[in-house]
Every structure is written in structure tokens, then in C-alpha cells.
């Protein structure tokens, strides 16, 4: 009640000020309800600026620096296979020199890679970076049609592949079997290693592209710079998330961290093991918000927390005003990890990035509330984007795929946090045809588990599909 009274008096003072300043016609929605102590709390939330002594560098330059510091230290390990930093550098240089000398890759050129999880995957990533290319990962689980669409978007002319993935690409694009680079390497190939030192790459250059699900029906290629990645890692190091003595177990489900999950983890981990809730879309590089879980105090929900060092965030309502404590709004993030835009999609970039007081913010689409301690709590999405089994999915992309068949209308929804259900309006198509179409155009995690075909989808008074009136799916099978 005290807060309500304070806000009421604050509004009266605002209205009086507008009357005196002859702004009586100003819309009431532009009146701020934030009290002075709340403004101070939000300012302290974003007091994250940290200066580092070492200059920003490129990803592959830092990798070489680590090789020089720890040549015989284990760099990468998978099952029974492993490589030291020195061994990894050798294979990375082989790939880089092959890209430069045989395929004439130039600085800033996009080079895709479609390989299974392996040591070769890591070698390929660093090899592309060292050659000055822009790394773009492609999933071997994606259907051929989707891979073709992604490659076309990047205008890539070369894809690094494994024997098991090379059959997914047609003859219109060059393929390089990454393992063949190692078997065909000449003994004197490293004589030309000086060629690598002539590759001109700076931290402002694009380092890699990550595709995210797009509401327009086409995946969005988010571009990240070398400095975005490097600075983001430094922010994580500064909060002591990890160091050279730590063993990290990562659970990347891209979904809300729940109290139940924390309770489950605490049954199987040791007392000296810390649980961190980290979140952030690809467009903010790795992570942007963090919270070290405290099970004694985090009894109802696990907060998203606050911004990482050299990041900041604000929460805005639908009118672009900062929210007060307990009010829901959209999270906007700025800082060292903000991406360089979507490749070839200037319109989408302009919608995603907004300038506020001379600073560039990314609109996350995530809704949150701020508590009395300045911590953010996730409330959902402002659109129909969902998280399913660790994947960020725009339901509109699935719906547009389905609309390319003979159906007249559709809507896709998530049920029980585990299933995608597609409601189809059609009288001349069956479930098998729909499933086959989805399998040839969408990755496995975006294929609906259930198709419900109706003669007509229910509509509300405004003529839009009424999701509340859709029949419940039968999940028993």
C-alpha cells in the first residue's frame, strides 16, 4: 500500500509539472511511475564497467597465445581421443594453409562446416578462423533442403565435411573433407606457415555466424565479431565462473532454470560445486545475464540475475518506458557482446537493435520483472518463440513451412514443455504427407510430434485463431 501511495503522489507531481510546462496534452502512457529509489537500484544494477589491462584480440590469436604458454597441456578431449595445444595447432595450421593455398579463401569470406561432433570439428573451427574466414556451423541433422537454404543465405562457396555428411550437399558447391587434409598433408607443408602471418584480421572483423530460428519462415544469420567473443569470455572469467583448475559441467537446455532442477542437482553434486544460471541469446554472444544459485534464498524461482561485467540491461514496458519493481517488461541488453546484425537482413537488424541515449541495445523479446534486490525474473516471451529441448524455436517458421503445402491455415503450439502440436485446417491432406514435408524442410527438433487436422480452426471475434478453443492433443501415445 505504501508503494501505491508513493506512486499516486508521484503521478500527481508529474501531472502538475506537465501543466506548468504547458504539456497538458502529453499522453498519460508517457508518465513514468518509477520512484527515485527504484531508479537508483536500476543504475546500480548496470554498474558493471570493468577495465582490463590486456588489449582485445582475435580468437585465433588468443589460441596461439595459449599454445605458446601451455604447448603440452591438454587442449581438447573426446572419449579416448585427445590433443595437446601444440598438436592442435599443427592440425589447425594444416587446415588453414589448405584453405588459403588450394581454395584461396580470403579475409571475411564465409566458410561453412557440417561435421559430426569430433576433434576434427574443433580443428575445422580454428582452421577457418586462422585463415581469416568467417566460421558458420551447419547441423548434420538438418535435411538437405534446409542446408541448401542456409548455404545460399551465406553465399558460401566452400563447406568442410565428413564422409558421413558430404552426401547432404549437391554438386553446385565445393566440399573439403576435413580428414583428408590430415592424410594428404605433405611433410614440408609447414615450410609455408609464414603465409598465415600475412592474413589480416582485426578484432572488429566478423568471426562467425550462428543461425537462429526466424519468425518470417527463414532462419536468421546472426554475425558475431572477434571482439564480441573475446570480451564475453573475459566477462565470464571476471566473475570467477571458471579458471584453469575448474571442471565445468554444462547443461545447455536454453530453458528456465527451476527450483526443482536445482534440488535434483544438489542431490548428486558435492558441496563445493557451484550452480550458475547463465542466459543470453546468440545475438549477445554466449551469455549476458548471470546468477549464482543460492538454494537457501532461491526457494520460489531461480532469477536470471543481473548483467555480466561490461554488459547492461534495461526492462521496458510496451510504451518504451522503464518498468518499476514488480512490473513486467521486455529485456533490452547492450554491451561488449552485442552482435553486428543479421547477414543480408537489414530490416530485421533494424528491428532487433535500437538506439537509446546514444547506446545500442538488443531487443531480446524476453519478458521479466525486477525484484527488490535488482534481480531479473523470467516471465515468458512477447512473441511466439519457445524453447524446446535446448533449442530456440520460432513457431512462425514451422507454420510457414506447413503453409507451403495445400493447407489453408495452421497454428503450432508447445504442449507440456515436451511436444510440438500442429493444428491444420484442411480437407485434402493427411498426417503422413505433412510429416514427410516437415522432415524434408525442417530440422528434427522443429518437426511437430502431433498433427491435428480440422475442417476449420476456431476464430475469435477479431477473426484470428482462438488458441484457447483448440482441442487438447492426445499425448498418451
Check whether 151 has a pLDDT greater than 70. Answer: yes
238 and 257 part of one domain = yes
Structural domain contains residue 213: no
In the prediction, which pLDDT does 260 show? 85
Among 349, 364, 381, residue at a domain's last position: 381
User: Using 50, 70 and 90 to split pLDDT, how confident is the model at 31?
Assistant: low
> Can you tell me whether residue 234 is helix, strand or coil?
helix
Q: What is the DSSP string of 413-454?
A: EEETTTEEEEEEE-SS--HHHHHHHHHHHS-GGGS-SEEEEE
Taking Cα atoms as reference points, which of 267, 308, 274, 307 lies closest to residue 292? Answer: 274
366 and 393 part of one domain = no
Structural domain contains residue 461: yes
63 and 195 part of one domain = yes
Region 335-359: what's the mean pLDDT?
Answer: 95
CA 386 to chain centre: 13
CA atoms of 437 and 429, how far apart (whole Å):
11
Q: Which residues contact 121 (CB under 8 A, 6 or more apart)?
A: 113, 115
> Can you tell me whether residue 278 is helix, strand or coil?
strand
Structural domain contains residue 29: no
Check whether 463 has a pLDDT greater than 70. Answer: yes
For 423, list phi and psi in degrees, rounded to 5.
Answer: -100, 125
Look over the chain and give the mean of its residue pLDDT values, rounded to a whole number: 88
461 and 361 part of one domain = no
Region 160-183: what's the mean pLDDT?
Answer: 90
pLDDT top residue among 245 and 403: 403
343 and 329 part of one domain = yes
CATH number at 445 reads 3.30.300.30
CA atoms of 86 and 68, how far apart (whole Å):
8
Q: Express each pLDDT in 73-85 by its tens digit.
A: 999 999 999 999 9
265 and 371 part of one domain = yes
Structural domain contains residue 9: no
- In sequence order, the β-bridge partners of residue 329 are 368
In the prediction, which pLDDT does 253 show? 58
456 and 405 part of one domain = yes
Q: Express each pLDDT in 265-276 by its tens digit.
A: 888 887 778 889
Among 328, 363, 381, residue at a domain's last position: 381
Structural domain contains residue 454: yes
Its pTM stands at: 0.85
- 334: part of which helix (H) or strand (E)? strand 329-335
Label residues 58-76 b or e (16+ Cβ within 10 Å = b): bbbebbbeebeeeeeeebb
287 and 411 part of one domain = no
In the prediction, which pLDDT does 19 show? 56
Structural domain contains residue 218: no
Taking Cα atoms as reference points, which of 236, 115, 131, 229 lies closest to residue 179? Answer: 115
Structural domain contains residue 110: yes
Q: Are strands 450-454 and 419-425 parallel, antiparallel or unpaired?
A: parallel
CATH number at 276 reads 3.40.50.12780
DSSP 97: H
In the prediction, which pLDDT does 415 show? 87
CA atoms of 255 and 226, how far apart (whole Å):
27
Instruction: Count the domains in the chain.
Output: 3
User: Using 50, 70 and 90 to split pLDDT, how confident is the model at 424?
Assistant: very high
Among 381, 408, 432, residue at a domain's last position: 381
Dihedral sign (CA 360, 365, 367, 373): negative
Q: Which residues contact 202 (CB under 8 A, 6 or more apart)?
A: 58, 226
363 and 270 part of one domain = yes
> Maximum CA pair distance of the chain?
83
Region 96-104: what's the mean pLDDT?
Answer: 94
Structural domain contains residue 28: no
377 and 399 part of one domain = no
Domain of residue 406, residue span: 387-469
289 and 373 part of one domain = yes
82 and 157 part of one domain = yes
User: Using 50, 70 and 90 to split pLDDT, how confident is the model at 401?
Assistant: very high
Distances (CA, A) of 438 to 7, 47, 143, 445: 52, 47, 9, 11
In the prediction, which pLDDT does 35 show? 74
DSSP 286: S
Amino acid at each position: 500500500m505504501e508503494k501505491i501511495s508513493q506512486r499516486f503522489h508521484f503521478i500527481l507531481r508529474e501531472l502538475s509539472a506537465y501543466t506548468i510546462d504547458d504539456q497538458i496534452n502529453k499522453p498519460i502512457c508517457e508518465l513514468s511511475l518509477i520512484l527515485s529509489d527504484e531508479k537508483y537500484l536500476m543504475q546500480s544494477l548496470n554498474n558493471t564497467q570493468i577495465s582490463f589491462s590486456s588489449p582485445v584480440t582475435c580468437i585465433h590469436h588468443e589460441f596461439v597465445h595459449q599454445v605458446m604458454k601451455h604447448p603440452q597441456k591438454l587442449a581438447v578431449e573426446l572419449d579416448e581421443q585427445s590433443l595437446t595445444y601444440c598438436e592442435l595447432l599443427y592440425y589447425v595450421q594444416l587446415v588453414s594453409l589448405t584453405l588459403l593455398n588450394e581454395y584461396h579463401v580470403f579475409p571475411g569470406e564465409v566458410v561453412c562446416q557440417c561435421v559430426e561432433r569430433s576433434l576434427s570439428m574443433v580443428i575445422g573451427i580454428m582452421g577457418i578462423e586462422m585463415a581469416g574466414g568467417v566460421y558458420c556451423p551447419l547441423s548434420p541433422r538438418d535435411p538437405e533442403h534446409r542446408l541448401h537454404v542456409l548455404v545460399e543465405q551465406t553465399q558460401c562457396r566452400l563447406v568442410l565435411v565428413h564422409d558421413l555428411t558430404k552426401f547432404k550437399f549437391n554438386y553446385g558447391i565445393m566440399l573439403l573433407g576435413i580428414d583428408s587434409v590430415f592424410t594428404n598433408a605433405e611433410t614440408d607443408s609447414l615450410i609455408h606457415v609464414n603465409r598465415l602471418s600475412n592474413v589480416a584480421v582485426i578484432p572488429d572483423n566478423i568471426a562467425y555466424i550462428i543461425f537462429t530460428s526466424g519468425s518470417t519462415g527463414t532462419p536468421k544469420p546472426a554475425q558475431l565479431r572477434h571482439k564480441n567473443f573475446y570480451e564475453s569470455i573475459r566477462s565470464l572469467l571476471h566473475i570467477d565462473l571458471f579458471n584453469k583448475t575448474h571442471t565445468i559441467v554444462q547443461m545447455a537446455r536454453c530453458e528456465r532454470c527451476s527450483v526443482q532442477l536445482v534440488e535434483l542437482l544438489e542431490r548428486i553434486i558435492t558441496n563445493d560445486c557451484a550452480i550458475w544460471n547463465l542466459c543470453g541469446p546468440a545475438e549477445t554472444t554466449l551469455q549476458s545475464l548471470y546468477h549464482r544459485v543460492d538454494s537457501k534464498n532461491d526457494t520460489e524461482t531461480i532469477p536470471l540475475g543481473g548483467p555480466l561485467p561490461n554488459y547492461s540491461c534495461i526492462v521496458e514496458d510496451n510504451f518504451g518506458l522503464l518498468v518499476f519493481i514488480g512490473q513486467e517488461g521486455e529485456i533490452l541488453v547492450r554491451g561488449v557482446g552485442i552482435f553486428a546484425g543479421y547477414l543480408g537482413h537489414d530490416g530485421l537488424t533494424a528491428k532487433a537493435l535500437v538506439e537509446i541515449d546514444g547506446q545500442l541495445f538488443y531487443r531480446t523479446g524476453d519478458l521479466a520483472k525486477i525484484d527488490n534486490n535488482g534481480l531479473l525474473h523470467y516471465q515468458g516471451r512477447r512473441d511466439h518463440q519457445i524453447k524446446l529441448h535446448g533449442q530456440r524455436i520460432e513457431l512462425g517458421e514451422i507454420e510457414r513451412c506447413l503453409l507451403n503445402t495445400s493447407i489453408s491455415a495452421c497454428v503450432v503450439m508447445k504442449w507440456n514443455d515436451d511436444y510440438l502440436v500442429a493444428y491444420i485446417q484442411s480437407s485434402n491432406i493427411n498426417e503422413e504427407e505433412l510429416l514427410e514435408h516437415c522432415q524434408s524442410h525442417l530440422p528434427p527438433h522443429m518437426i511437430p510430434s502431433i498433427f491435428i487436422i480440422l475442417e476449420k480452426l476456431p476464430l475469435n471475434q477479431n477473426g484470428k485463431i482462438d488458441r484457447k478453443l483448440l482441442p487438447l492433443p492426445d499425448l498418451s501415445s
